[in-house]
Amino acid sequence: MSNIQLSFDFRSDTFTQPSEEMRQFMASAPVGDDVFGEDESVNALEIQAAQLLGKEASLFVPSGCMGNLIALMGHADPGQLLIAGGLSHIHQYELGSYARIAGLSMMAVDDANGWIEPNELERRWPGSEYYLPQVGVIVVENTHNVGGGLIYPVDALIALSEFAKNRQVPIHLDGARLLHASVACGLDVSAWTEHVESVMMCFSKGLGAPVGSILAGDTNFIAKARVHRKLLGGGMRQAGILAAACSYALKHHVEDLARDHERCALVHRSLQDLDWMVLTPPATNILMLRLVEPCAKELAKDLAHRGLGVLALASDLLRLVFHRNLCDEAVAKVIKAVQEFGVR
C-alpha cells in the first residue's frame, strides 16, 4: 500500500487529519510537565473528560490499547481471568498484552451480536475450587469494531452490570468509538458509562486528534492507573499540545460524526443489491462487506489502484470506515468502483 497513492482512505477513521483550526489551538496550548501534574492543558482535558463520562477522575494516555491494558492491571490481579468477547479488539488486536504484561488468562465468549449474554457467563463461570482462576474483570466494547460498528444496547449492559455486581466483578468498557454510539442513539455517553467501573475512549478515531485516549473511573482507580501508565512508559511531559487537540475535538467535532454515519448508510444502500456480497445495515460509521467468494484481497488491491484504501480483514471480508476526512466525492467513487469490480 505504501507505493500506491491513495486519494481517499477508508481503511480506518484513525486516518483523520487535524484541521487547521485544531493545529492553531494546539500551538497556543499552555503546557507544563505532566509527570509532575503541572500541564494545564492535560489537567483541563482530564476534568472535561471525567465530567463527560460521568466519572470521578480520568487519565490522559497515548493510546486506546494502553488505556485498556492499564484498566486490566487496575482491576485484576495476575493469574486471574479476563472475560471478553471472542471478536473483541482487546482479544484479537492488542498483542495478547492481557497475558504478556497483565498476567491474565482469557475466557473468550460469544459476542457475534455485539454484546455479552449473562446466560453464557452463568453457564461458563468458573467454580470456587482453589485451583481454578477466578474472574478479575469483564470487558465490553462499544461500538463493536469487528461487528461493524454495532452499538451495545443499554438494556443489555444493565443486565450484564447486575450480573457482575452480584459476583463483585468490575466491568471495563472499551469505548474507543463510544461517541459514535452516543451520536447515533442521541444519548449521553453516561447512558453506558454509569453501568461500568471504568471506560476508555479514543480521540484519534474520527475526531481528528492526532494522538490520545482517556481512561476514566473513580479517584482511587485513576490514582492507581497513573502508576501503571508510568510503568508502561506512558509518562508524558509537555503533553498539553496533544491534550489540546482532544479538547478541541470534543468541543467542535463530535456532532460531525453523524455525517459519517449518513455516508456509511448511503454506501450500504447503494451496494445492498449486489448478489456477490452480503451486507448488514450499519449502525454507525463502519461498513463490513461480506463477500460470497474469498476475493477480499483482490478487491482491496483493485480499489487501491483506483486511489481508494479499504481493509481486508479476512479472505471474504472487507471493512470501510467513514470519517471527517472523506467527502461526497469519495463516497461516489467507492460505490462506483465496487460496482464495477462486480461486473468483471
Domain residue limits, the chain = 20-252, 256-342
- CATH fold of 20-252, please? Aspartate Aminotransferase; domain 2 (3.40.640)
Secondary structure class of 334 (helix, strand, coil)? helix
Please count the residues of the chain.
344
Residue 185 has pLDDT above 80, yes or no: yes
Residue 344 has pLDDT above 70, yes or no: no
Where does the pLDDT of residue 263 fall: very low under 50, low under 70, confident under 90, or very high at 90 and above?
very high
- The reported pLDDT for the residue numbered 2 is 58
Q: What is the mean pLDDT of residues 96-116?
A: 96
What tens digit of pLDDT does each residue of 300-339 get? Answer: 999 999 999 999 999 999 999 999 999 999 999 999 999 9
Domain 256-342 sits in CATH at: 3.90.1150.10
Q: Which of 27, 25, 139 is nearest to 81 (CA)?
A: 139
Where does the pLDDT of residue 119 fall: very low under 50, low under 70, confident under 90, or very high at 90 and above?
very high
Range list of H helices, 127-275: 154-166, 178-185, 190-193, 219-231, 240-252, 257-271
β partners of residue 290: 278, 317
- The reported pLDDT for the residue numbered 27 is 97
Q: What is the mean pLDDT of residues 242-254?
A: 97
Q: Strand ranges (DSSP E) for the chain?
A: 8-9, 57-61, 81-85, 105-109, 135-141, 171-175, 198-202, 213-217, 277-279, 286-291, 308-309, 311-314, 317-321
Residue 288 has pLDDT above 90, yes or no: yes
Contact indicator for 248, 22 with CB cutoff of 8 Å: yes
C-alpha 41/C-alpha 215 separation (Å) is 16
- The reported pLDDT for the residue numbered 6 is 87
Residue type for position 84: A
Q: What is the mean pLDDT of residues 70-87?
A: 97
Q: Which of 3-12, 57-66, 125-134, 190-199 has the lowest mean pLDDT?
A: 3-12
Place of cell 479517584: 219
Please work out, in degrees rounded to the nearest 5, the angle formed at the alpha carbon of residue 175 by the alpha carbons of 246 and 324.
Answer: 50
Contact indicator for 62, 85 with CB cutoff of 8 Å: no
